[in-house]
Structure 1
Amino acid sequence: MMSHSAATPTLAWLKSNRAHVRRPVAITVGLGLAGGLLLIVQASVLAHLANAVIFDRAALPALVWLLAGLAAIVLVRAGLVYLVQQTAFAAGRAIKTEIRARLVARLAGRGIVWQRSQATGDLVNTLSDGVEALEAYYARYLPQSALAALVPLAILAVIAPIDWISGLILVVTAPLIPVFMIFIGRGAEKLNQRQWRRMGVLSGHFLDALQGLTTLKLFNLGAREARLIAKLSDEYRLATMRVLRLAFVSSLVLEFLATVSIAMVAVLIGFRLLWGDIGFTSGFLVLLLAPEFYLPLRNMGTVYHARMEAIGAAEGIVALLDAPADANPGSRCDGLVAGRAPAVALDAVSYAYPDGTQALTAVDLSIAPGETVAIVGASAAGKSTLALVLMGLLAPTTGRVTLDGIDRATLAPAYWRRWCAWVPQQPRLFHGNVRDNLTLGAIEVPDDALWQALERAQARAFVAALPDGLDTAIGERGLRLSGGEAQRLAIARALAAAAPFVVVDEASAHLDAPNEQALTVALGELGADRSLVVIAHRLATVREADRIVVLDAGRVVETGCHAELVAAGGRYAAMLAEGRHE
C-alpha cells in the first residue's frame, strides 16, 4: 500500500503536467463560469416572472419579453454546456497523447533486456487504462475545482446583499463539504492505489495465460489456471467494491450536508416571508440560487474520486517515466554512405546482463562491406547477445563498436537502424495483412519487389495460396501461419528492406531440409550486395559463408572459412564431427 508520503511525488507529477492542458482547461473554466453567471440571471428572471404572474396578475403580453429572455438564456446555457464538454475533451485528448508518447519513448529507451523482464500485461494496463484514468483528472477535476470556488462566490455576492441571514448560512455550511470530502477521500485514495495494483497483477497474469494457452492445455493445466484467474478476479472485485462503498458513503455525506443546508435556508425564508421581513421576489431568488450554490461543491465531491483514481493510475506511469534509460543515445545523423554497408568493427566488446551473467568477453570482430559472416557456437555461447550488440539493441558494457571508423555510441539510434534489417529467433508479426508486415508502414515498396522478396525467402507459394494474397490478414503474431511460414515471412521482410546490413539469428530453425537448402542459396545471393551476419545452430547453413566465427563462453575462439576451420581441427571441426545442432 502506498503511503501518503509516497503519493506526494505522484500528485506533484500530476500537477506538473498541467502546462500541457492549461489553455483548454482555462477555456473550460471560463465557459463554466459564464454558465454560472447566466444561471444567476436566469434565476432572477424566473423570480420576477413568478412575482408578476402570482402577485401582479400580469397578462401574457406583458410577460413576453421576460419569457423570451428566459428562453434565450436557456439556449445560451445549453450551448455553453456543449462547449464545456468539447474543451474538456480536448484537454483529455491532449494529455493522453502527450503521456502516451512519453511512455512509448521511455519504453524504447529502456532497451530490450529491461523490456523482456517486464510483465507485458502490466505494461499494457499502464499504457491503456492507466493513461485513460488521467483524462478525468485533467478534463473534469481541474476545471471543477476552479468552478467550485468561482461559481459559489458569484452566487454569494448576489445573495448576501439581498438576505444576509441566508448568506451567513451558506458561508458557515459551505466549508463543511470539502472538509468531509478530503477526510473521507484519504481512505479512498489508499484503496484506489491498492485497486490499481491488483488490476495490474490481474492484467499481467491474464495476458500471460492467453499467450500460453496452448501450453497450458497440453499440460492439462487449464482448469488450474482458470481457478487462479477466478481468485485474482475475485480479489479485484472485492477491492473495487471497497472503493465504491466508500465513494457511496462520501456521496451520501455530501448530499446530506447540502440538503440540510438548503433546508435551513428554505425554512428561515419561509418564516420571514410569513412575517413580512423579506419580499417574495428576493426570497424566491434566494431559494432558487441556494441549491445552485452547493451544486459545484457536490460535483466537486464526485470528481474528487476521479482525482484519487488518477493518483492510483499515475503511480505506475511515474515509475516507468522515472526509470533511467540504459544509456545516453548519440545524436549524430551523418557519416555513413547511403545505400552502402559500413565496415563494422567490434573492439574488445564485453557485455554483462543486469543479473551479472557475462555473455560476451573481449570480442574483437570486423565485418567488411558486403561480407557474409557466420557466427556459430554451443548453446549459451553468446550468439544471440552478439546479434543484439551488432544491431545496436544492446550497448556494450565495455569496448566499442565502430561503423566506418565512427563510434556507434555517437550516432542516433534511429539513424543507424536505417542501415539495418533483423530476422530474430522469434519474429514479431503484427495484426494486419501480409503487405503491412512486409513493409512495416513503408508505402513506397511496389508489389513486384514484395513478391520477389517472398520468392527468395521460399514464401511466395504459401502467400500466393492465401485467400487475398498480400492483402490477407494474418492475425496477431501471425497466428494463421505455421512456425516455418512466419519465419520465412520475417526473412522476406528483411529482403524487402533497403538496409545494407542484415543480421539473421537462427533463420533456419523452423524450416525443413529442402527449404533450408533453398534459403541458404537465397541468403548467399543477398550477401552479394549487403553485409550479412548469419547466426545459426545448424552448421550446414554456414558452409558458404565468407568467414565463420566460433564463439565459446562469450569469447571468439576460432575464425576462418569452412575449409580452414575443418583443417585446423579445433572447436568447429569437433562440432561438425559430432553433428551438433546447437
Structure 2
Amino acid sequence: MRPLDPRLLKHASAARWFLLVGAVLGLAQTLAIIAFAWLLSQSITLAVNGESFARLRGTIAALAGVVVVRAVIVWLLEVAANRGAAAVKSQLRSAVLDRLAERGPDWLAGQQDARVATVITSGLDALDNYFARYLPQLLLTAIATPILVLLMLWQDPASGITVIIVLPIIPVFMILIGQATQVVQRQQWDALQRLSTGFLDVVGGLATLKIFGRDRRQAARLTDLTDQYRGRTMKVLRVSFLSGFVLELAGSLSVALIAVSIGIRLVDGSLLLGVGLFVLLLAPEAFLPLRQVGAQFHAAADGLAAAEEVFAILEDDDVRPVATAPAGLPTLPTRAGVLRFDGVTVHRGEATPIDGFSQEFSAGQLSVISGPSGVGKSTLIGALQGFVPFDGALWLDGGLIAPGDSRTWLAWAGQCPGLFSGSVTTNVTLGSATVDDDLVATALTWAGAGDLDPTLHLGVNGAGLSGGQAQRVAAARAIYRCLALDTPVLVLDEPSSALDTDAEDALIRGLATLAAQGRIVIVVSHRPAFLTAADRVVQLKEVAHV
C-alpha cells in the first residue's frame, strides 16, 4: 500500500477532512518551530553579548509563549488524528458491511468467516496507529521539511546544500527497510488469519472432537499456530528495532555533519553566532519528520494490510446481473396477492441447479416447496431474497422485483437459526425499532414456542436452547417481522427439521393462520406433516423444471 492510498480518500470522507485539518495544523507547527528556533538563538546570542535581563525578558516571554503554542498544536493534531481514525474506521466498517449485505450469504459462504471478521474488527482497529503516528509525520514531511530546508538554504547556503545532499539518504534506507517490513508484516498478518480461522473451526466443532477423542490433537495444532504467530511477531519487532536504529543513525550523522560545518565556520568567524545557532536548531527538525515516517511505518503496517483487504472487498467488480423479464414475455397485469417466478434460472459455475423455474404463489395459501437435498430449494429462496444472481424475472402484485430492490415486503428464516447472546425477546425482535411484547408472545405461540419464557437470557449462538427450540425462535423472528411490518410474503427454509410432532403441528397451525390473513406463505420442507397440511406443493426435480 502506498503511503497515502487514494482509495482511502475515496471510501472514507473523514480521511479528507483529517488531511485538511492536519495540513493546517502541520503548517502552524512548522511556523512554531521556526519561531522557537529564532527566539532561542536570539536569546542565547543576547546573553552571550552580555545584555541585561530586562532586554532579554521580552524575548524569553515570547519563547515561552511559542513553547505553549507548539504544545497546543501538537495536542490538537493528536486529537484530530484520533477522531479522524475513529471516523474512518466507522465509515470503512459501514461500507464493508453494506457491501457484504449487498453480496449476501451466497458470496460470504465462499469466504473464511474468521478472516472477514478479523479484517473488519481488529484489522481496522490498527488504523489508529496509521492516523495517530504515521500520517501526521507524513504531513509534516510534506510541509515542514521543504520549508525548513529552504529557510536553512536562505540563512546559510552551505548548511542548506549539505541538507539537500544528505537528506535523500534517509528515503533510500526507508525504501529498503519498507520492502523488508512489508514481507514480514504480511507473513505476520497471514499467521494471525490462520490462527483466527483455526481457533474458530475448533470451537465450532468442539463437541464432535470431544466425542471422537480428537480434541487433544487440535490443541496441539492451535499451539503450533500460536507459536508461528509469536515467531512472526518477534521477527517484525526485530525488523522494527533494527530499522529504527538505522534511520536514527543516518539522521544523527547528517545533523552531526551540519553541526561540524557550522562549528568550524563559527571558529574562523565566517558565520555569525545567531545565524549558526538558528540553522543548527532547524537541522534536526528538518530531518525529524522523515525519520519518524520510517520509524512509524511499522506501527501502521497492520492497519495498512487490513485496509488492503477491505478495499479488495469494496472494489470487487463482481456485479450481480439485473433481473429482466424473459424475451417476448408480455407485461403481466396487476394481480394482488401473487408472487410469480418467470423463467428463473440460476447458474453455479458450469452447473445449473435452477433452470427455467416458473410458478405462482398466491396469498391465502400455505405453499410448500419440496424435493431431494441439493436440488436447489435454498438456492431458489436465495434468488427471491436477491442474494443469488439469476436470469428471468420475479413479480409481486404485477410489479417487477429487481435483485437490488429492498425486500421490505419479505420476512424470512433460514436453516441456521442465527441466534445471539441476549434474551429471547431480543432475538425475536431483531431489527425492529420498538418491541411489542404482545406480538412477541403471538409470534412465539404461532411458531410453536409458546412455552418459552421471552425474558430467558441466551448465550452465544443461542446457547441454553435445544436445536428445536432455537429453530422455533428463528421462525418466531420471521413471524414477528411479518406481523410488525405487515409484510405480505413469509418464507421459511426447513423450519421443522429438528422439531417433534407436537411442535411441528403448532408451527403449521400458526403458518396457516398467517396465510388465512391474506399473506403469501412459502415453506421449504420435505417433512410429511407439511406436505399433508399444504394447500399447494411444488416439487423440484434434479433440474427445476415444473
TM-score tier after normalising by the smaller chain length: 0.7 to 0.9
1:454 to 425, 439, 444: 444
Partner of residue 533, structure 1:
522
In 2, are the aligned partners of 1:11 and 1:311 still within 8 Å (CA)?
no
Mapping 1:398-417, distance limit 5 Å = 398-409=391-402, 412-414=404-406, 417=407
- Pick the aligned partner of 2:490 from 492, 502, 507: 502
Question: Structure 2: how far apart are the matches of 1:277 and 1:542?
Answer: 103
Amino acid at match of 1:537: H
TM-score (norm 1): 0.83
Deviation (angstroms), 1:349: 3.0
- 2:458 is paired with a residue whose SS is coil
User: Is the 1:130–1:317 contact (alpha carbons within 8 Å) kept by the matching residues of 2?
Assistant: no
Q: 502, 510, 513: which one pairs with 1:522?
A: 510
Task: Output the CA distance in 1 between the equivalents of 2:545 and 2:533.
Answer: 20
- State the partner residue of 1:580: none
- Give secondary structure in 1 for the equivalent of 2:340: strand
Task: Supply the AA of the counterpart residue of 2:522.
Answer: V
Q: 1:197 aligned to 2:190? A: yes
With over 3 angstroms needed to count, the CA separation of the structure-2 counterparts of 1:273 and 1:362, relative to structure 1, is: closer
CA contact under 8 A between 1:21 and 1:91: conserved in structure 2? Answer: yes
| Aligned twin of 1:548 | 537
What residue identity is the alignment partner of 2:429?
A: T
Residues 341-388 of structure 1, C-alpha deviations (whole Å, 9 max, x = no match): 73012233333323x444334333211122111223333343333333
After superposition, where does 1:131-530 map in structure 2 within 5 Å?
131-134=124-127, 136-137=129-130, 140-305=133-298, 308-325=301-318, 327-329=320-322, 342-354=337-349, 356-396=350-390, 398-409=391-402, 412-414=404-406, 417-464=407-454, 469=455, 472-497=456-481, 498-529=486-517, 530=519
Q: d(CA) in 2 for partners of 1:287 and 1:177? A: 19
Offset, 1:114:
1.9
Report the AA paired with residue 474 of structure 1: L
Among all aligned residue pairs of Structure 1 and Structure 2, give the percentage whose two residues are the same amino acid.
36
- The root-mean-square deviation of aligned C-alpha atoms, in Å, is 3.1
3-state SS of the aligned residue for 2:50? coil
8 Å contact kept, 1:503–1:533: yes
Q: Residues 95 and 135 of structure 1 are in contact (CA less than 8 Å); yes or no, is this contact kept in structure 2?
A: no
Asked if the contact 1:193–1:313 (Cα under 8 Å) also holds between the matched residues in 2, the reply is: no
| Kept after mapping to 1: 8 A contact 2:37/2:278 | yes
Pick closer, same or farther for the CA change 1:8–1:39 going to 2, 3 Å: closer
For 1:210, give the aligned amino acid: V
What CA distance in whole angstroms lies between the structure 1 residues aligned with 2:11 and 2:452?
51
Gaps of 5+ in 2: 325-330
Are the aligned partners of 2:496 and 2:504 in contact in 1 as well (CA < 8 Å)?
yes
2:35 pairs with 1:41: yes
Q: 1:83 offset after TM fit, Å?
A: 1.4
Question: How far off its partner does 1:514 sit?
Answer: 2.0
Number of matched residues? 534
Contact (CA 8 Å) 1:21, 1:138: kept in 2 or not? no
Instruction: Give deviations 1:30-64, integer Å, cap 9, x for gaps.
Output: 212211211221122222223334441523x4433
TM-score w.r.t. the length of structure 2 is 0.88
Tell me what 1:80 maps to: 73
Question: Is residue 10–residue 311 contact of structure 1 (8 Å, CA) maintained in 2?
Answer: no
What is the DSSP-based 3-state SS (H/G/I as helix, E as strand, rest coil) of the residue aligned with 1:118?
coil
Of 125-134 and 362-371, deviating more is 125-134
Residues 308, 534 of structure 1: alpha-carbon distance in 2 compared, 3 angstrom cutoff: closer
What CA distance in whole angstroms lies between the structure 1 residues aligned with 2:184 and 2:6?
Answer: 20
Distance 1:249 1:455, change over 3 A: same
Aligned partners of 1:18 and 1:385: how far apart in 2?
34
**Could you list the runs of 5+ residues in structure 1 that have no partner in the other structure?**
1-6, 558-582
* Contact 2:195–2:225 under 8 Å retained in 1: yes
Hey, what's the Cα distance between the residues in 2 that align with 1:156 and 1:207?
A: 53
2:426 and 2:225 mapped to 1: Cα distance?
Answer: 37
